Structure formats: structure tokens, C-alpha cells
Amino acid sequence: MRYFSRVSENDLDFLEGLLGSRNLSTREEELIANSIDAYQGGFHKPEVVVWPEEPEQVSQILRYCNERRIPVYTRGGGTGLSGTTPIHGGVLISTVKMNRIIEVMDRDMQVRVQPGLIYERLNKELESHGLFFPPDPASASYCTIGGMVACNASGLKAVKYGTTRDYVLGFQAAFPDGSLRRVGFHTFKYSTGYDLVKMMVGSQGTLGVFTEITLRLRTLPEHAETIAAFFPSIRLATETIYHIVRRGLDVAALEFMDGWMTRAVSEFKGLGFPEAGAMILVESHGTRSAVRETLSRVRDIIREHGGFGIMEAEDEASRKRLWDARRGAYPATLRLAKTLVISDIIVPLSRLAEAVEKAYEIGDRHGVKVYCIGHFGDGNIHAHWCAEERGDEVLRKLHEANDEYSLYAISVGGAVSAEHGIGTEKKKFLRLQHPEAYDLLLKVKRMIDPNCILSPGIMFDVDEVIG
């Protein structure tokens, strides 16, 4: 027997009464547009898409769907890479109409925003305050703050500034029982019992729907400089990265691209990079003299490890050019590969070089092409498993290689996801990832969402939750 109810005419009447006819759609084009994200995991159509404008509307949708056992999925920018589309159908809440900055609390260095606000827009608005929200995903122009909080996104600057979780001071969220609760504080630290704020960050829409978020902000750096360097081999590049971190140099970004990716972005963006086995990008933030001192030491380490062709970018335009190379990695790969699966593993720093070699070894064994980039200052590797063909069989092969890589990460004390989340892609690893605490994770889910209406099949299978 089917566990979930299908969305009926009565349900649509309820939703239309609550939201108005302009804020819901069952049009095929709309359902299809909301049935995929950036993860290549097939089409999963919702039965209806809704665009609430008020937090109370979100909580009423959840209360109603919980009573009727209708699945509810939330969507921000749809750039997720772990597979969070509505695999059980139901209602899809799009947050795109809840996209305002509510209040910049300049003196408190905080901001209150609605969840559908695009990351890049927030930082543009904050510029005039001399403030910014640092986690800097490569999807910055499209992803929303709600999506970032739900995935604990991070990216290019995490090595200095940390991840989204480090910046969420509080939120308002709607829960399946229909409640709308504020959780958290306006202070930078607290010791006040269980930390529900941190627990909800990274929950991928499985515990509640964020309707407002309070973020801590940082002061825009006085000065920033970026350098790129090229290496004859991957091992020399990873050793360089290791030594930059180990010597405690104050870098704000420490990125790696292997030789294939370096060539691909150079051709894609017309950058004229030299032929190399790997390249790294290093950025430093601070006063001009501190940045100069840090990067001078970085250059010494690069040279000690055979680095060459060092490019220095001091002004905004030349820094942007170098960062465009890094941000161009995903589209550059898509130009050359029709099917693509991206890993998001993270390993202890001492394992970095070994982990990159492991990716090529797994690729060879599975007959799959693989290219590596990543936020190596943190040990976060995005292996890109690629094929020039399309089709289910090809995709299966890429996933097999990626799965083996995830198991490798767990075996060395790492994690299957550093920033993209679990989703449908990696839920099979969740028990292995938390061998002695998996039952506690399930208990949390059951306590907050006993009927498993929130993002069912994402992170946990429905049978496991409803037992």
C-alpha cells in the first residue's frame, strides 16, 4: 500500500486558498523545471510547486501536509550536488519569493535575511557596510542562503573563514507539527544547553524549513592578493599545500587543480596557462604588509617544491581573472564531458597526496576518466568522474567509481561529504559514517518529523524512519 497521499484537487484548493493562485502551479513546464538539480540523478517531478511569501504560509503548508501525509521538499537555487529532488513527488516549496534582506545590524556585524536570497546579492549589498558573509561557494551567483544553511555549504575561503555553520547565529524555521520557532541568539558565543542551531545546519530540508536566518558577518579585508603557481607533478603541488598549512601561514584560499583541469579551464577562458601537472591558487587577506609577508613565504615554499610560472594578482581585475579560472572548472568540464559525477570527500591533511592518487587508481580500474580539483587547504577533494557518452550504463559506472572513493574516505577517517551534503547520492554511507551514533540521528529525525513528510528519501529512506 502507498504510504504517502497523492496531491488531490482538495489539496490544491487548500494551497490556492492559502497562497493565492499566482503562487502555485501544476503546469508541466514548472514541474519539470523543479525536478532536477545539479546532481545527475534523473528527473523527479513534484505534483505541485508553491511559492510562499510569508513564514506563516510555510508553517501552514507543513501542518496540512503532515496531517494528509503529503511529502514536502524545499528548493532554493536548485544547485545542490547531492540529489535532493522530490523522489516521492508531493509539494515543492520554492523559496524564490522569500528573497529579502530583512535587516543589516551593522554595529552587531549581523544580518537577518529571508532564505531565498542569493548569496552573491547579499555580499553585494553588504559591501557598502564594509562587511561580508565569507563562505564562498563556486555557485555563488545562483545558490540561496537557505540552501547554503541546509547543506552547510562552504567553498573557496573555508580554509581561513570556516563554513556556513560557523556563521549561523539563529533562524526561524517551520516544522511538520505546524509550529514556527525561533532558535538561536544574537551573540557570537553561548553555552546554553544543546546547540539546536548547529544541529539544523546541514539537515538538507529533512527537519524543518528555514524561513529566516541570522548570520554573523566579517569585516571586508583591507587588502587581498592572489597568486597562482604551476607544478611538474601532483605530489609536489599537494606537498606545497601541506607545508603552507603546516607552517601556519594566514591564507584565505588554497585551491588545487590537476593538469587536465588546468588545461581545460585555460582553453575555456583563454588564460594561456603553461603546461603543468597541477596548479594551485593561494589568496591572502589582511593589511597590505601582512599579505605581502605571507605571500612572500608562500612563494618560498612553492619554489622549494619545484613550482614555476608564478602569477601574481594584486588588483581586482587580475584577481578576478585567476578566480574565474577556478570557477570555470565545472562549465569547462561540462564542455568536454557529457556525463559527470562529482565527489565531495574530505580526508585528514596527511592523506591528501595519497587520496588524489587513489582517485586516479580507482578511475583506471573502473575504466573511468577522473580529474581532481578541490579546496585542498581543508583536505576537501572534488574528483570529477567523467564520460564523453550519455546513458544509464555510463552513469552507473561513474557512480560505482565515486562510491568506492567515498568508502576510501571513510576508511582513512575522512567524510563522504565536506560541503555538498548527503542527499540521495550518499545516504547509503550514512550508517558507515556514524557507526556508533546512527540510531541517534534516526531518533532526531523521528522526533521532529515522525511521519517523514520532510524531504523523504533524502538522507534517510522512508521505511527506516517510520519503522
**Residue 153 binds ligand FAD, judged by CB under 6 A:** yes
Would you say 221 and 285 are in contact if contact means Cβ atoms under 8 Å apart? yes
Q: Given the rule CB under 6 A, which of 49-57, 132-140, 180-188, 387-395 is the region that contacts ligand FAD? A: 132-140
Provide the minimum distance between the beta carbon of 256 and ligand FAD in the complex, in angstroms, as a whole number.
13
What is the chain's length? 467
For ligand FAD, the binding residues in 292-321 under the rule CB under 6 A are: none
For ligand FAD, the binding residues in 324-363 under the rule CB under 6 A are: 330
Residue indicated by cell numbers 562529482: 342
CA-based Rg of the chain, rounded to a whole angstrom? 22
For ligand FAD, the binding residues in 60-89 under the rule CB under 6 A are: 73-81, 84
The residue within the footprint of ligand FAD, chosen from 57, 144, 238, 284 (CB under 6 A), is 144
150 or 252, CB closer to ligand FAD?
150
The grid coordinates listed for 377 are 587547504
Would you say 152 and 164 are in contact if contact means Cβ atoms under 8 Å apart? yes
The number of beta carbons lying within 10 Å of the beta carbon of residue 368 is: 22
Under 8 Å CB-to-CB from 10, ≥6 apart: which residues? none
d(CA 76, CA 79): 8
Provide the minimum distance between the beta carbon of 374 and ligand FAD in the complex, in angstroms, as a whole number.
10
The grid coordinates listed for 87 are 523522489
Note the helical H segments in 101-202: 119-126, 145-151, 158-161, 196-200
d(CA 410, CA 298): 31
Would you say 208 and 202 are in contact if contact means Cβ atoms under 8 Å apart? no
For ligand FAD, the binding residues in 82-121 under the rule CB under 6 A are: 84, 95, 115
Provide the minimum distance between the beta carbon of 96 and ligand FAD in the complex, in angstroms, as a whole number.
9
Provide the minimum distance between the beta carbon of 155 and ligand FAD in the complex, in angstroms, as a whole number.
3
**Residue 214 binds ligand FAD, judged by CB under 6 A:** no
Q: Which residue is nearest to ligand FAD (CB)?
A: 147
Question: CA distances (Å), 467 to each of 175, 234, 439, 445, 461, in order?
Answer: 21, 47, 12, 12, 10
Provide the minimum distance between the beta carbon of 249 and ligand FAD in the complex, in angstroms, as a whole number.
22
**Residue 172 binds ligand FAD, judged by CB under 6 A:** no
Three-state secondary structure call for residue 279: strand
The residue within the footprint of ligand FAD, chosen from 91, 209, 370, 422 (CB under 6 A), is 209
The residue within the footprint of ligand FAD, chosen from 204, 262, 333, 402 (CB under 6 A), is 204
**Residue 377 binds ligand FAD, judged by CB under 6 A:** no
Question: How many amino acids of this chain bind ligand FAD (CB under 6 A)?
Answer: 36
Q: Given the rule CB under 6 A, which of 142-150, 265-273, 275-283, 444-452 is the region that contacts ligand FAD? A: 142-150
In the chain, the largest separation of any two C-alpha atoms, in whole Å, equals 70
- CA dihedral defined by 163, 325, 361, 397, rounded to 10 degrees? 80
119 or 231, CB closer to ligand FAD?
119
**Residue 212 binds ligand FAD, judged by CB under 6 A:** no
Provide the minimum distance between the beta carbon of 44 and ligand FAD in the complex, in angstroms, as a whole number.
12
Provide the minimum distance between the beta carbon of 414 and ligand FAD in the complex, in angstroms, as a whole number.
16
d(CA 207, CA 165): 16
Would you say 95 and 116 are in contact if contact means Cβ atoms under 8 Å apart? yes
Q: How many CA atoms lie within 13 A of 85 on its CB side?
A: 22
Q: Given the rule CB under 6 A, which of 2-10, 201-209, 290-298, 442-450 is the region that contacts ligand FAD? A: 201-209
328 or 363, CB closer to ligand FAD?
328
The grid coordinates listed for 323 are 578566480
207 or 241, CB closer to ligand FAD?
207
Residue indicated by cell numbers 528555514: 210
**Residue 150 binds ligand FAD, judged by CB under 6 A:** yes
Q: Which residues on neighbouring strands pair with residue 73, listed in sequence order? A: 92
Question: How far, in whole angstroms, is CA 171 from its chain's centroid?
Answer: 19
Provide the minimum distance between the beta carbon of 331 and ligand FAD in the complex, in angstroms, as a whole number.
7
The grid coordinates listed for 35 are 525536478
Residue indicated by cell numbers 617544491: 305
Provide the minimum distance between the beta carbon of 136 and ligand FAD in the complex, in angstroms, as a whole number.
7
**Residue 41 binds ligand FAD, judged by CB under 6 A:** no
For ligand FAD, the binding residues in 402-431 under the rule CB under 6 A are: 419-420
The residue within the footprint of ligand FAD, chosen from 143, 245, 265, 325 (CB under 6 A), is 143
Question: How far, in whole angstroms, is CA 299 from its chain's centroid?
Answer: 30
Binding site for ligand FAD (CB under 6 A): 37-38, 73-81, 84, 95, 115, 137-139, 143-144, 146-148, 150-151, 153-155, 204-205, 209-210, 330, 419-420, 455, 458
